[in-house]
Structure 1
Amino acid sequence: MTPDHPTDQNAVRNLDSPRQLADWAQTLVAHHKRQLASPAPSPRPAGIDDSSSASLHRTWDDLSAGFVSLQHKNLLVDGADPAVLATAFMAALQGGYLLSAIARHTGPLEIAVEMALRQVARSLTDEPPRPHDRSHR
């Protein structure tokens, strides 16, 4: 393990179980949580200035508002959390963007979007929304 890679990379390369993957991911989260709690300034990804950060935050807020809109239209299953859906969707998009930039093709972004849309689909109701009855105005 190194400061940049707080986990045993060999553990993820040679997975023995889904639990091992979950443990590896939780170790990354715990490491990042410690970094964010330290008094030193949090590291920012390269190319993310204040303006870019604000734009990303607005997009995240807009996604959350969009999921709230779906919830108000009864298109989300009971218990679906619009903020959680927005966070997961935004994280998938940003990860896809990053990996696509590294790979120099859109394959990773396409995979991330597909995965995010499948996750959202699990939170949608099975029934299409009923049109509002406008005859009683």
Structure 2
Amino acid sequence: MSRPENARRLTPRGAATRARIVAAAAELMYVKGVNATTLDDVRAASNTSKSQLYNHFQDKAELVRAVVAARTAQVLDRERGHLQRLKSLRGLVRWRDALVRHNALRSGAYGCALGSMASELADQDDQARATLAASFAEWEGLLAAGLRRMRDGGVLRPDADPERLATGLMAALQGGYLLAETAQDVRPMEIALDMALDHVRSFRTA
């Protein structure tokens, strides 16, 4: 059973220890995978004792859920920065470019931080799956809202469907992440996003 009430009563030192554990676990689970990461790996990477780790997380499942919450907050905060004011095709291209540049730093390896966890956890942990599903829905909703502003502002034709276009962009993005991860080359991600953007452009008014 998770203990959010305890997290609220943490001392500053305890909060720092908990954050260090979650940060170390998040990086390990991103690089190695959730299932391949052990609690001993996390203890070593975070420089914490077994008693410190179990003081904050009673088992690996609880730690995984904390990592999911931290990663989704991180990704959504980044995406809000890019998409909350989206209202032009140029802005959509800037969003694409930022994602590609970020993924290129590791030559496409490891994929999307949320997508990688979703592929492992969807059939294992319903609570984590629900958190990830809600995060993808919010991410897609940010895209749809931007596309709606573009349609309402006359950038896209009235027959453009923001929700369908947003789903297509998200599918291209996640598929691109997967192909880039497999090839360890960001180019497939670029191609997938560019084709999705070309479809959005097919609805522009001029």
**TM-score, with structure 1 as normaliser:** 0.55
Equivalent in the alignment of 2:146: 66
Provide the C-alpha distance between the structure 1 equivalents of 2:168 and 2:202, rounded to a whole number of angstroms.
13
More helix by share: 2
Instruction: Could you tell me which runs of 5 or more consecutive residues in structure 1 were left unpaired when the two chains were aligned.
Output: 1-43, 127-137
Q: Could you tell me the percent identity over the aligned residues?
A: 39
Equivalent in the alignment of 1:122: 202
Deviation at 1:47, TM superposition (A): 5.2
Instruction: Could you tell me which runs of 5 or more consecutive residues in structure 2 were left unpaired when the two chains were aligned.
Output: 1-117, 123-127
Equivalent in the alignment of 1:131: none
Deviation at 1:46, TM superposition (A): 2.2
Provide the C-alpha distance between the structure 1 equivalents of 2:137 and 2:151, rounded to a whole number of angstroms.
21
Aligned residues, how many? 83
Deviation at 1:98, TM superposition (A): 1.2
Provide the C-alpha distance between the structure 2 equivalents of 1:80 and 1:117, rounded to a whole number of angstroms.
13
**TM-score, with structure 2 as normaliser:** 0.38
Aligned CA RMSD, in angstroms, stands at 1.7
- AA of the residue aligned to 1:46: E
- Could you list the structure 1 runs, at least 4 aligned residues long, displaced by more than 6 angstroms after superposition: none
Deviations 1:72-127 (A, max 9, x none): 1011113111111111111111110111111112111111111111111101110x
Equivalent in the alignment of 1:23: none
Deviation at 1:52, TM superposition (A): 3.0
Provide the C-alpha distance between the structure 2 equivalents of 1:120 and 1:69, rounded to a whole number of angstroms.
13
- The yes-or-no answer on 1:80 pairing with 2:160 is yes
* Greater relative contact order, per chain length (Cα 8 Å cut-off, separation 6+): 2
- AA of the residue aligned to 2:119: P
Matches within 5 A, 1:1-137: 45-46=119-120, 49-50=128-129, 51-126=131-206
